[in-house]
């Protein structure tokens, strides 16, 4: 099966989440974990943004050997110099150069014309190549850029020596159909992409909740690198979530027929590490890593799970690094789950005793959001006393 490159930008775009600033040792700790998970490329930071970020990227570049370490740079000589200095010590170093190309960014942000942006991008890629042969170019806001200009600048970037072309949906405006079409269009119009073995990459933001769907559409249309973050953290509504992309490819390999090198059993610990270090809580119902992702409360579901796990679980919790699923005891829980919990807690009860305890459990569950083991133990002790 073909392999999709996983480009993790938790330490760059992810750290751009308001309130997510990480210290240099914290960034290194996360980078080490990402390397252990099998991440292909770690975007370690934006070296020009601060002395601290430069140091973080440099230290990560000097310690990490299996993953490629990448530093971000605008199309400005000083940016590229800093990124180059930071990653040049890496076993495998990459510079990621970006320049906005959409009309709205050209006119209102850069105040530059197409020709100037094209020349600037080419010059910047050439400068980056002085530090490493691995140069990625992103026409920022690609999804809102006129297709003709996108073709022109992507062609020029490849001729200048860029080996990866990333097409960011910078403001999360694309839909799966429109985003996928950009990739198929460029692959059709620009034979140079295949001739030079250039990798097309997806980079999606989640403003409309479509980051993962858009990334997968890009993959279906020829992208072979996806940029993503742990827990989907990132600017505004965030980036595509690494854990979702990896587990979709694994669970629905029948559809996508492409895998990744990620050791999925490291997903849950990575999620907890990033959440603890950034201080950004993971929403309870977040796919794959949320507290409820493998928790079942309804009686019908709990009964199904106890009979055969796959009735209500499409992934094994162990496959994402969770030791077990959880049957949450609440007002929707039924006798099967209650009986199971009684056994797990080490009690031996007759059917009659269980029935009486179950009635008390239901009465309590109507008053509480969740009934904990201690509550159940108290109910059981009381029922056993009464029947003694």
Rounded to whole angstroms, the Cα distance separating 232 from 378 reads 41
CB of 239 to ligand KIV, least distance (A): 8
Maximum separation of any 2 CA atoms in the chain, in Å = 89
CB of 354 to ligand KIV, least distance (A): 56
Stretch that binds ligand KIV, among 148-156, 163-171, 319-327, 353-361 (CB under 6 A): 163-171
Tokens of 221: 């249309």
Binding site residues, Zn ion, CB under 5 A: 13
Query: Residue 382: how many CB atoms within 10 A of its CB?
Result: 13
Q: Residue 1 CB, nearest distance to Zn ion (Å)?
A: 28
Q: Which is nearer to ligand KIV, 109 or 257 (CB)?
A: 109
Q: In this structure, what DSSP letter does residue 143 have?
A: G
Which two structure tokens, joined as six digits, stand for 316?
Answer: 């094994």
Binding-site partner at residue 124 among ligand KIV, Zn ion, none, CB < 5 to 8 Å by type: none
Given the rule CB under 6 A, which of 156-164, 166-174, 293-301, 329-337 is the region that contacts ligand KIV? 166-174
Backbone angles phi, psi at 349, to 5 degrees: -135, 150
| Per-residue tokens: 131 | 């530090």
Map tokens 């031996």 to a residue.
Answer: 348
Q: What is the CA radius of gyration of the chain?
A: 25
DSSP secondary-structure letter at 230?
A: G
With CB under 6 A as the contact rule, the residue among 5, 105, 155, 203 that binds ligand KIV is 203
**Residue 263 in marked binding region:** no
State in angstroms the smallest separation of the CB of 142 from ligand KIV.
8
Q: Residue 268, class by beta-carbon neighbours within 10 Å (0-12 exposed, 13-18 middle, 19+ buried)? A: buried
Per-residue string for binding with ligand KIV, 136-155, x by CB under 6 A? --x-x---------------
Q: Which CB, 4 or 202, lies closer to Zn ion?
A: 202
Tokens of 172: 């999360």
Give me the residues paired with residue 140 across strands. Answer: 100
For Zn ion, the closer CB: 13 or 79: 13
Q: Each residue of 195-211: b (16+ CB within 10 Å) or e?
A: eeebbbbbbbbbbeebb
Asked if 15 touches ligand KIV (CB under 6 A), the answer is: no
Among 14, 22, 48, 98, which residue interacts with ligand KIV (rule: CB under 6 A)?
A: 98
Asked if residue 301 belongs to a known ligand binding site, the reply is no
Please enumerate, by residue number, every residue annotated as part of a binding site: 13, 203, 205, 239
Q: By CB under 6 A, name the binding residues for ligand KIV.
A: 13, 98, 138, 140, 166, 168, 170, 203, 205
Annotated binding-site ranges for Mn(2+): 13, 203, 205, 239
């Amino acid at each position: 099966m073909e392999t999709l490159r996983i480009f993790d930008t938790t330490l760059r775009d992810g750290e751009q989440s308001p309130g997510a600033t990480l210290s240099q040792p914290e960034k290194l700790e996360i980078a080490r974990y990402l390397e252990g998970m099998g991440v292909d490329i770690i975007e370690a930071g934006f070296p020009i943004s601060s002395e601290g970020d430069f140091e973080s990227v440099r230290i990560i570049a000097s310690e990490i050997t299996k993953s490629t370490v990448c530093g971000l740079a605008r199309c400005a000589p000083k940016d590229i110099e800093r990124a180059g200095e930071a990653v040049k010590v890496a076993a495998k170093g990459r510079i990621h150069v970006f320049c906005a190309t959409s009309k709205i960014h050209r006119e209102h942000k850069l105040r530059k014309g197409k020709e100037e942006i094209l020349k600037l991008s080419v010059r910047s890629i050439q400068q980056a190549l002085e530090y490493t042969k691995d140069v990625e170019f992103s026409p920022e806001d690609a999804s809102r850029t006129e297709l003709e200009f996108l073709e022109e600048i992507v062609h020029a970037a490849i001729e200048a020596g860029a080996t990866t072309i990333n097409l960011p949906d910078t403001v999360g405006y694309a839909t799966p159909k429109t985003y996928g079409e950009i990739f198929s269009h460029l692959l059709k119009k620009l034979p140079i992409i295949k001739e030079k073995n250039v990798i097309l990459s997806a980079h999606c933001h989640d403003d409309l909740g479509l980051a993962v769907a858009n990334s997968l559409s890009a993959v279906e249309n020829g992208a072979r690198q996806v940029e993503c973050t742990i827990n989907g953290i990132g600017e505004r509504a965030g980036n595509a979530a690494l854990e979702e992309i990896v587990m979709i490819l694994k669970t629905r390999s029948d559809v996508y027929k492409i895998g990744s090198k990620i050791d999925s059993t490291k997903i849950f610990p990575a999620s907890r590490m990033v959440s603890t270090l950034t201080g950004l809580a993971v929403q309870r119902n977040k796919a794959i890593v949320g507290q409820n992702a493998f928790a079942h409360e309804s009686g019908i579901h709990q009964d199904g799970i106890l009979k055969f796990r796959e009735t209500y679980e499409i992934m094994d919790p162990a496959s994402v690094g969770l030791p077990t699923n959880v049957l949450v005891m609440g007002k929707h829980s039924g006798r099967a789950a209650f009986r199971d919990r009684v056994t797990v807690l080490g009690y031996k009860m007759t059917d009659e005793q269980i029935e009486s305890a179950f009635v008390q459990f239901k009465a309590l569950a109507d008053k509480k959001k969740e009934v904990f083991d201690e509550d159940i133990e108290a109910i059981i002790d009381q029922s056993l006393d009464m029947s003694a």
